[in-house]
């Protein structure tokens, strides 16, 4: 079994925030691959399904972003999921909007959700970094990630989440380069990349 964790904050107040794009991507995977209904356990919303013949547990922690590791580690320990079989989807301010990168391990770059998961689980899990852009001033970062995507951003957000769900089998197979390339090609064709943003 592999564990896919989308990060975000629970509740309607945060639902459209940039910080919640991990939740949005998890919802797209849930819908596209016809997972079981969401149910609450491990202090999270969880659902089970299969992608490319592999059993997948989808997890959306309800512990709030800063304590994401509590829920992820509880699910990991219950199902005895290897650290390398954990995939975390989250917002990345150091990438331009509509850009994506995948890696295993590395630093947490000030992301409290990653810091919590690393503290509870270890560091060498797979990370799907979904760019939401930087406000340009460190003092404005919290406001930036906890604000909603603008209406003009919705097309690329929806296209990105759909692309991730459509290419999820490559993540399951740990084909990170191929997954990343597929996403970028899909986003190029979607014509939703924000004006002025670097092309993938």
CA distance 61 to 120: 13
Catalytically active residues are 19
122 CB burial (10 A radius; 0-12, 13-18, 19+): middle
CA distance 11 to 140: 23
Phi, then psi, of 11 in degrees rounded to 5: 105, 155
CA distance 99 to 132: 8
Phi, then psi, of 40 in degrees rounded to 5: -90, 125
Look at residue 40 and give its three-state secondary structure. strand
């Amino acid at each position: 079994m592999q564990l896919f964790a989308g990060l975000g904050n629970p509740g309607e107040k945060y639902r459209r925030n940039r910080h919640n794009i991990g939740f949005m991507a998890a919802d797209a995977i849930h819908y596209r691959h016809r997972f079981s209904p969401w149910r609450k356990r491990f202090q999270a919303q969880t659902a089970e399904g299969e992608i490319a013949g592999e059993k997948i547990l989808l997890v959306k922690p309800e512990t709030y972003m800063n304590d994401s590791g509590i829920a992820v580690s509880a699910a990991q320990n219950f199902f005895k999921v290897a650290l390398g079989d954990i995939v975390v989807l989250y917002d990345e301010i150091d990438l331009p909007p509509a850009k994506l990168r995948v890696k295993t391990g590395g630093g947490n770059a000030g992301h409290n959700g990653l810091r919590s998961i690393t503290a509870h689980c270890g560091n060498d899990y797979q990370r799907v970094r979904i760019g939401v852009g930087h406000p340009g001033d460190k003092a404005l970062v919290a406001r930036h990630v906890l604000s909603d995507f603008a209406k003009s951003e919705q097309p690329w957000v929806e296209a990105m989440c759909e692309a991730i769900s459509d290419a999820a089998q490559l993540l399951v197979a740990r084909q990170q380069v191929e997954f990343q390339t597929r996403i970028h090609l899909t986003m190029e064709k979607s014509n939703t990349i924000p004006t002025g943003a670097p092309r993938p």
